[in-house]
């Protein structure tokens, strides 16, 4: 890659971390330095996007094929990976889920075959173990988690970029995640504490963040950042710098939708709940949003809402990730 002085070079990435491996299956594959580096690179890529073919990274993936393997619907993740790969000069293939995700043959054999033609895969599926199995079955294949039941790490990097754009320094800030302790909440918590952000999570009984996230936070939290769990959403959002929510029913859980609507009703992010946060607090949502359920129109469309900045930043952060993982 042609790296001008103002573009962080991939070779400047802190060495020795787990990302020295070839996959991004979890935020935990990043060390704090990797996350900081990816955010610097993302900001440079965002700034340089207007340069088009003259951008320093326009040929970063030249001659590289990437497979997009999606078992669940996607607008933002799929579109931004397609655009990112093209803007980096690469190509993608898009085999249909019925042939590519282990129904016709084992996932391991899918991976071993794909590895002979393409450099890596972006995978959206159900259990996280399916993505890990694919990565383990191959030797050189780069694998990126584009959402599993348990984690959504690409979303978390875009969330961090959005918060950095809002605040500059993130250390000592506090974000409340209100709702299901799901894939988005897990990855966001892991990434946020790496940036020194305190995270509060308010969930109904039975829908808390997995217990293992406390251990992750103790290990990876920077500058004293920690995780506090709440049952009461009002207590969780008092005086916070941002409120984050996600759908009450994630993909694959559709059978529970009616029961969840009742349980999660007190966790709606509405104008009243926002009023307990700091006056200039922002509102985050990974999207798609179910307006009138986990969030009201008034909050989604307010000046506090940065949800479409998050959506935009999926592109820049995934471009940075592709450069970091795929460029030789």
Any idea which residues carry the catalytic annotation?
124, 152, 155, 246, 286, 314
Q: Which does 75 bind (CB under 5 to 8 A by kind): ligand CP, ligand NVA, none?
A: ligand CP
Which positions from 167 through 196 interact with ligand NVA, judged by CB under 6 A? 182-184
Query: Does residue 317 touch ligand NVA according to CB under 6 A?
Result: no
Query: Does residue 245 touch ligand CP according to CB under 6 A?
Result: no
Q: How far apart are CA 163 and CA 146, in angstroms?
A: 21
Residue from 58, 83, 97, 287 in contact with ligand CP (CB under 6 A): 287
Residue of 267, 166, 244, 152 whose CA lies nearest to 198: 244
Q: Which is nearer to ligand CP, 236 or 307 (CB)?
A: 307
| 25 neighbors 213 (Cβ within 8 angstroms) | no
Tell me how far CA of residue 169 lies from CA of 85, 135, 192, 266, in angstroms: 30, 35, 12, 32
CA quadruple 316, 146, 288, 184: dihedral, nearest 10: -100
Please state the length of the chain. 328
Cα three-residue angle 178-180-182, rounded to 5 degrees:
120
Query: Does residue 146 touch ligand NVA according to CB under 6 A?
Result: no
Burial of 319: CB neighbours in 10 Å, binned 0-12, 13-18, 19+? buried
Q: Per-residue x/- mask for ligand CP, residues 14 to 53, rule CB under 6 A?
A: ----------------------------------------
Q: Which does 250 bind (CB under 5 to 8 A by kind): ligand NVA, ligand CP, none?
A: ligand NVA
Q: Which does 183 bind (CB under 5 to 8 A by kind): ligand CP, ligand NVA, none?
A: ligand NVA
Residues that bind ligand NVA (CB under 6 A): 147, 182-184, 246-247, 250-251, 286
């Amino acid at each position: 890659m042609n790296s001008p002085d103002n573009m962080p070079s991939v070779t400047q990435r802190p060495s020795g971390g787990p990302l020295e491996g070839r996959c991004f299956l979890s935020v935990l594959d990043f060390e704090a330095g990797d996350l900081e580096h990816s955010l610097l690179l993302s900001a440079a890529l965002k700034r340089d996007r207007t340069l088009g073919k003259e951008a320093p990274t326009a040929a970063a993936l030249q001659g590289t094929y990437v497979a997009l393997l999606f078992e669940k619907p996607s607008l933002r993740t799929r579109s931004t990976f397609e655009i990112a790969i093209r803007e980096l000069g690469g190509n993608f293939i898009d085999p249909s889920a019925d042939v590519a995700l282990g129904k016709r043959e084992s996932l391991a054999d899918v991976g071993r075959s794909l590895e002979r033609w393409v450099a890596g895969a972006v995978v959206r599926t159900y259990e996280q173990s399916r993505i890990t199995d694919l990565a383990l079955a191959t030797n050189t294949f780069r694998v990126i988690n584009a959402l599993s039941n348990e984690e959504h790490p690409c979303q978390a990097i875009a969330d961090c970029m959005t918060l950095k754009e809002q605040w500059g320094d993130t250390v000592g800030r506090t974000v409340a995640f209100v709702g299901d302790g799901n894939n988005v909440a897990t990855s966001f918590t892991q990434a946020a504490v790496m940036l020194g952000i305190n995270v509060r999570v308010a969930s109904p009984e039975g829908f808390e963040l997995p217990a293992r996230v406390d251990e992750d936070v103790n290990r990876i939290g920077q500058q004293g950042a920690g995780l506090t769990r709440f049952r009461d959403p009002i207590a969780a959002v008092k005086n916070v710098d941002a409120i984050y929510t996600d759908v009450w029913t994630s993909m694959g859980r559709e059978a529970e939708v009616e029961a969840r609507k009742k349980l999660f009703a007190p966790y709606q992010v509405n104008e009243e709940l926002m009023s307990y946060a700091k006056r200039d607090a922002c509102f985050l949502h990974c999207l798609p949003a179910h307006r009138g359920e986990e969030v009201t129109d008034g909050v989604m469309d307010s000046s506090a809402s940065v949800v479409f900045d998050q959506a935009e930043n999926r592109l820049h952060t995934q471009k940075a990730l592709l450069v970091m993982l795929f460029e030789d």
